[in-house]
Chain A
Amino acid sequence: MYGGLGNSENKSSVTYRVDRVIDASNLMCPGPILMLSTSISDLPQGSVVMVITRDPAFEEDLKSWSTYTGHEILDIVKGSDRVIAYIRKAR
């Protein structure tokens, strides 16, 4: 599965191999972060997760979560009504 290119809202120039897609678009805080945290826990190191959300607070929340957990934010792509983020599992 690949993400990072292919639609008009996407300003990213990089393509990632995505190991798991988390569609959290029907949940606000803390739904997307909790889904991401739970989902990433059983993936091997280096896996890339794509999170789709409509939560306007998600970008800042994700940065804070990433600082605490060490997981790497590869890209955050902002569209008109949603945010898509790519995260690489650190450990």
Chain B
Amino acid sequence: MLGSQQEQADLAIIVRSDRPESVYPALILATTASAMGVKVEMFFTFWGLRAIVKGGAEEIERSFYEELRSRGFEPRGIPRLSDLVAMAKNAGNIRIYACSTTIEAMRISRDSIIEGCPIVGASTFLAKYARSGAKILVF
């Protein structure tokens, strides 16, 4: 059941921005934590929700690459953002949640969010972490 203490992760990551400097490090840390055997929960809210809307990761990556090129850098060495989202989604030890208020405020349909991401509210998320020693990172 959502919100049960048993499902608490070691690391909670809140993504509230769709800026590359928020979305990339959030997903890099989540997927790396997963690779290290650390359980992670990610909560996508406000503009950050765009990262888990279908096609959103590609758009964020495109605008990041354009920004890099406008500053004279050819993108290299960076993992594909859509790959990081897919890895996070498919990892057994990462759970991804979508913020219900954002979905309503931005008129986002459930179908447009990548599959397997429960839509939850603040209490559900807080219930797991407010009294725990888990770390919470905000991007």
Contact = CB atoms under 8 A, between A and B. Distances in A.
Interface of A: 26-31, 33-34, 36-38, 55, 64-65, 68-69
Q: A interface, by DSSP: helix, strand, loop or mixed? A: helix
Given A68-B37, A69-B35, 19 more contacts: A26-B77, A27-B78, A27-B79, A30-B28, A30-B32, A30-B35, A31-B77, A33-B35, A34-B31, A34-B32, A34-B35, A34-B79, A36-B35, A37-B35, A55-B77, A65-B36, A68-B36, A68-B38, A69-B36
Interface size, B (range): 10 to 19
A31 B76 contact: no
Nearest to B29: A30
Contacts, number: 39
B48 to A, nearest CB: 19
B87 interface: yes
Nearest to B83: A34
Nearest to A55: B77
